[in-house]
């Protein structure tokens, strides 16, 4: 079993450095417990990289990523950089990492923790037992399609983007979804808009073709607008949701909100060679530096890294169990706090999780 892992650490902007520090402290404990070594190498990304290097993804950061076994990422963006041209903004660094490392599958679990059922906007009987994964294709769709741009036509401003998918992109994410479902509850919901979009028509056709090799897994197709509604009405019915880049971006945030807080939700973006782990929430510049950010999503992202990259599923379970125990014991950061529970900050939450490890 491999014992030494090189991890690229990209804290980014806003609360990124705080939540990353919390996750690294947890990983230090795991390393001692399982007799493994993490070699952390930090890099600049996003607004922090713009301020120091004039580029949201400097070449030295990309080099660190390519020389690592995995990338642990915080968050990018903030009001400070909102007026920059689109191709110079912090988010462009994140998109470029995904493209450069060919990270085609974004895995976003959404699990309803029993101690937090009251935090969900849905009734407890609807949300209790929810345990689903949104699998979002990450390298195609309108985020990367060409042509794209802005111009003036007949005296008025026009903006345009191209939604496009190649057959191999759909085929590999569909295969990924069915393989994942085989290790869960054996159900895949493919989400598209095939009634109006040629891109989605192709998507559905290819997903059906791939399904012929996975007949032990149930497949259902659902239009994206209906899926958005059914996630509210009957979220427990979903297991693995597979969809394109833009639909996945929206649906995964909705699924996350069901559980009560984006601060609880981890994610992994994986490709054939590299894997990138990050919380799904943003940089939250309004609370940056106040020590109140919820580090759990980042800590759970580190747990996903232990399972997927490091092949240490028991270590991942240890972290997940520690998080659940902390919640059962009543500890809450501000985003999930309710009367009668114990409000703690970023560092304190990490400490409580570490105690239970």
pLDDT value at residue 5: 97
Summarised one tens digit per residue, pLDDT across range 45-99 is 999 999 999 999 999 999 999 999 999 999 999 988 988 888 789 988 888 898 8
Positions marked catalytic: 143, 193, 225, 249, 253
pLDDT exceeds 80 at position 263: no
- Banded pLDDT at 345 (limits 50, 70, 90): very high
pLDDT exceeds 90 at position 292: yes
pLDDT value at residue 83: 87
Domains with residue ranges and CATH for the chain? 1-104+271-357 (3.40.718.10), 110-259 (3.40.718.10)
Exposed/middle/buried for residue 168 (C-beta within 10 Å: 0-12, 13-18, 19+)? exposed
pLDDT value at residue 277: 98
Summarised one tens digit per residue, pLDDT across range 85-134 is 887 899 888 888 988 999 999 999 999 988 888 888 889 999 999 999 99
Question: Given strand 131-137, what is the order of strands in its sheet?
Answer: 37-42, 4-12, 70-75, 275-279, 266-270, 105-111, 131-137, 240-243, 187-192, 218-223
Output the average pLDDT for the chain. 94
pLDDT value at residue 305: 97
Beta carbons of 15 and 74 less than 8 angstroms apart: yes
- Region 328-334: mean pLDDT is 95
Q: Which of 91-100, 164-173, 324-333 has the weakest average pLDDT?
A: 91-100
122, HSE (Cβ side, Cα atoms, 13 Å): 24
pLDDT value at residue 119: 80
pLDDT value at residue 1: 75
0.85 exceeded by pTM: yes
- Banded pLDDT at 321 (limits 50, 70, 90): very high
Beta carbons of 9 and 42 less than 8 angstroms apart: yes
- Banded pLDDT at 278 (limits 50, 70, 90): very high
pLDDT value at residue 87: 78
- Region 257-262: mean pLDDT is 77
Q: Which of 119, 135, 267, 100 is nearest to 207 (CA)?
A: 135
- Banded pLDDT at 31 (limits 50, 70, 90): very high
- Banded pLDDT at 21 (limits 50, 70, 90): very high
Summarised one tens digit per residue, pLDDT across range 180-216 is 999 999 999 999 999 999 999 999 999 999 999 999 9
Beta carbons of 25 and 357 less than 8 angstroms apart: no
Percent of the chain with pLDDT over 90: 83
Backbone angles phi, psi at 101, to 5 degrees: -95, 0
pLDDT value at residue 304: 96
Residue 265: partners with Cβ closer than 8 Å, 6 or more residues away? 108, 109, 110, 256, 259, 279, 280, 281, 297, 300
pLDDT value at residue 253: 86
Q: Which of 51-60, 80-89, 167-176, 274-283 has the weakest average pLDDT?
A: 80-89
3-state secondary structure the chain: CCCEEEEEEEEECCCHHHHHHHHHHHHHHHHHHHCCEEEEEECCCCHHHHHHHCCCCCHHHHHHHHCCCEEEEEECCCHHHCCCCHHHCHHHHHHHHHHHCCCCEEEEEEECCHHHHHHCCCCHHHHCCCEEEEEEECCCHHHCCCCCEEEEECCEEEEECCCCCCHHHHHHHHHHHHHHHHCCCCEEEEEECCCCCHHHHHHHHHHHHHHCCCCCCEEEEEEHHHHHHHHHHCHHHCCEEEECHHHHHHHHHHHHHHCCCHHHCEEEEECCCCEEEEECCCCCCCCCCCCCCCCHHHHHHHHHHHHHCCCCHHHHHHHHHHHHHHHHCCEECHHHCCCCCEECCHHHHHHHHHHHC
Q: What is the rounded CA–CA span in Å between residue 206 and residue 244?
A: 13
């Amino acid at each position: 079993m491999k014992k030494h892992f090189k991890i690229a650490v990209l804290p980014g902007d806003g609360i990124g450095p705080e939540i990353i520090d919390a996750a690294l402290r947890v990983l230090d404990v795991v390393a001692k417990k399982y007799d493994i070594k993490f070699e952390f190498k930090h890099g600049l990304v996003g607004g922090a990289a713009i301020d120091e290097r004039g580029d949201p993804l400097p070449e030295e950061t990309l080099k660190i990523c390519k020389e690592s076994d995995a990338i642990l990422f915080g968050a990018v963006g903030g009001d400070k950089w909102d007026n920059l041209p689109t191709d110079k903004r912090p988010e462009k660094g994140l998109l470029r990492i995904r493209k450069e490392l060919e990270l085609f599958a974004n895995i976003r679990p959404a699990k309803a923790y029993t101690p937090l059922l009251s935090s969900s906007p849905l009734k407890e009987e609807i949300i209790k037992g929810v345990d689903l994964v949104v699998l979002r294709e990450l390298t195609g769709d309108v985020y990367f399609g060409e042509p794209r741009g802005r111009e003036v036509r007949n005296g008025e401003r026009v903006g345009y983007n191209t939604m496009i998918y190649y057959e191999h992109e759909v085929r590999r994410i569909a295969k990924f979804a069915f393989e994942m479902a085989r290790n869960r509850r054996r159900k895949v919901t493919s989400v598209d808009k095939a009634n109006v979009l040629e891109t989605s028509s192709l998507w559905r056709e290819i997903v059906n073709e791939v399904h012929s090799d996975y007949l032990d897994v149930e497949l259902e197709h659902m239009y994206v607008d209906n899926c958005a509604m059914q996630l509210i009405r009957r979220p427990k019915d979903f297991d693995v949701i597979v969809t394109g880049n833009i639909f996945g971006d929206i649906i995964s945030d909705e699924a996350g909100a069901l559980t009560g807080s984006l601060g609880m939700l981890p994610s992994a973006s994986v490709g054939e060679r590299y894997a990138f782990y990050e919380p799904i929430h943003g940089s939250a510049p309004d609370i940056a530096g106040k020590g109140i950010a919820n580090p759990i999503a980042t800590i759970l992202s580190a747990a996903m890294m232990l399972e997927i990259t490091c092949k240490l599923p028991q270590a991942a379970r240890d972290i997940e169990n520690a998080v659940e125990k902390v919640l059962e014991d009543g500890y809450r950061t501000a985003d999930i706090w309710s009367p009668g529970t114990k409000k703690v900050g970023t560092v304190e939450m990490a400490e409580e999780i570490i105690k239970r490890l």
